[in-house]
Amino acid sequence: MSELTVSRHFVEAALTGARRQKLDIDRMLVDAGISPELLKIEMARVNSHQYSQLLQTVWNVLEDEFMGLGPRRCRTGTFATMCTLIMDCPNLKSVYRQAFEFCRLFEPMVGMKLETSGTEARLVTVIEGEVNDPVHFFQESILVIWHRLGSWLVGQPVELSGAEFNYPEPAHGDEYRHIFHCPLTFNARETALTFDRRFLDAPVIRDKPEMRQFLRTSPADLLSRPDESNTFTGRIRTLIGRDFSRSLPDFEWIAAELNTSPQTLRRRLKQENTSFQEIKDLLRRDLAIYYLSRPDLAINDIAFKVGFTEPSTFHRAFKKWTGVTPGAFREGDRGGLE
């Protein structure tokens, strides 16, 4: 079940280059299992599988892994070639250095440069030439892909201590809290990710069969499906589970299961830019969107499944999350909006 959802903003952003080239956007959406009508709902969301499919469609149709947003075309297969070269690196430090050298082979260059100072390591974005990136999706994608690729190679999420952006906070800036799980700084001198230098010594643990499997859906899955297994947010989502029709575990029980005190857990969630209540609300939202895609389920049954005893309360909550009622969302998902 694909329960994580992606904001409509990122769907539109991924189509920016294709739209500029006057390609058939509706066909791309349908091929990814997304109803074009759904995108008429301003606060609509799609599931992570649909989003991953859309990204792969865009890359293949444009034959450009930069999605028409970069300073040049990046032929499909470039990312896979880089991954094949860096997977024999001994540790994360070597991975990032080797990946940067690979990116330097192309002009103008696009990549991330590793810098170290004291106990801190930074990945700084290097983009030469002019980009067509009006909503910063190209820059965001580079940050996310490099961070999550490194985390996957060493088999553990590289915990970020900060993310900086050399542009003002965009309208969709709130989404960044759930992408980077760390303090955010806008209008910074450069776009960069900061983390503890100790992660650079982490050994690469993946083998060639794992890499072949990984590359079947990458880098699309890196953008659409974050590995939150080692974040407190992800671990709490797992502990809560998917059955909201029964009584949910309380915060004290969750903290005990995670071998921490409630005070420490609150502080860690604050560092990850979230709260226990928000985790529950977003999990309810994502589950509701998933269930609405199943025509066999009545909306009142969905309300109960996601933890609402009164359908009217569910309708109000869903409208707050998406701007429309569950019925209107389902109609849009089926392509029934006028």
User: 184: domain range?
Assistant: 90-209
**Looking at the domain assignment, is residue 33 inside a domain?**
no
Burial 45-80 (b: 16+ CB within 10 A, else e): bbbbbbbbbbbbbbbebbebbbbbbbbbebeeebbb
Provide the number of structural domains found in the chain.
Answer: 2
Q: Do both 185 and 237 map to the same domain?
A: no
**Looking at the domain assignment, is residue 203 inside a domain?**
yes
**Looking at the domain assignment, is residue 82 inside a domain?**
no
Query: 93 pLDDT exceeds 60?
Result: yes
pLDDT tens-digit profile of 229-271?
667 888 898 899 888 888 889 999 999 999 999 999 999 898 8
Residue where a domain terminates, one of 176, 209, 242? 209
**Looking at the domain assignment, is residue 2 inside a domain?**
no
Q: Do both 164 and 250 map to the same domain?
A: no
pLDDT tens-digit profile of 265-310?
999 898 888 999 999 999 999 999 989 988 899 999 999 999 998 9
Q: Do both 106 and 190 map to the same domain?
A: yes
% of the chain with per-residue pLDDT over 70: 97
Q: Do both 195 and 260 map to the same domain?
A: no
Q: Do both 149 and 257 map to the same domain?
A: no
pTM of the model: 0.86
Determine the length of the chain: 338
**Looking at the domain assignment, is residue 127 inside a domain?**
yes
Q: Is the peptide bond before 90 cis (omega within 30 degrees of 0)?
A: no
Q: Do both 183 and 252 map to the same domain?
A: no
**What is the structure's pLDDT at 247?**
85
**What is the structure's pLDDT at 243?**
82
Q: Do both 178 and 104 map to the same domain?
A: yes
Residue 222 banded pLDDT, cuts 50, 70, 90:
confident
Residue where a domain terminates, one of 175, 209, 243? 209
pLDDT tens-digit profile of 95-119?
999 999 999 999 999 999 999 999 9
**Looking at the domain assignment, is residue 221 inside a domain?**
no
What is the domain-level CATH number for residue 285? 1.10.10.60
Q: Do both 111 and 146 map to the same domain?
A: yes
**Measured distance CA(28)–CA(39) in Å, rounded:** 13
Tokens of residue 215, six digits = 């590359």
**Looking at the domain assignment, is residue 321 inside a domain?**
yes
Per the CB < 8 A criterion, the answer to whether 8 and 46 are in contact is yes
Name the average pLDDT for the chain: 92
pLDDT tens-digit profile of 37-61?
999 999 999 998 899 999 999 999 9
Residue where a domain terminates, one of 209, 243, 272? 209
Q: Do both 205 and 125 map to the same domain?
A: yes
Q: Do both 95 and 200 map to the same domain?
A: yes
Q: Do both 158 and 269 map to the same domain?
A: no
**Looking at the domain assignment, is residue 156 inside a domain?**
yes
Q: Do both 199 and 236 map to the same domain?
A: no
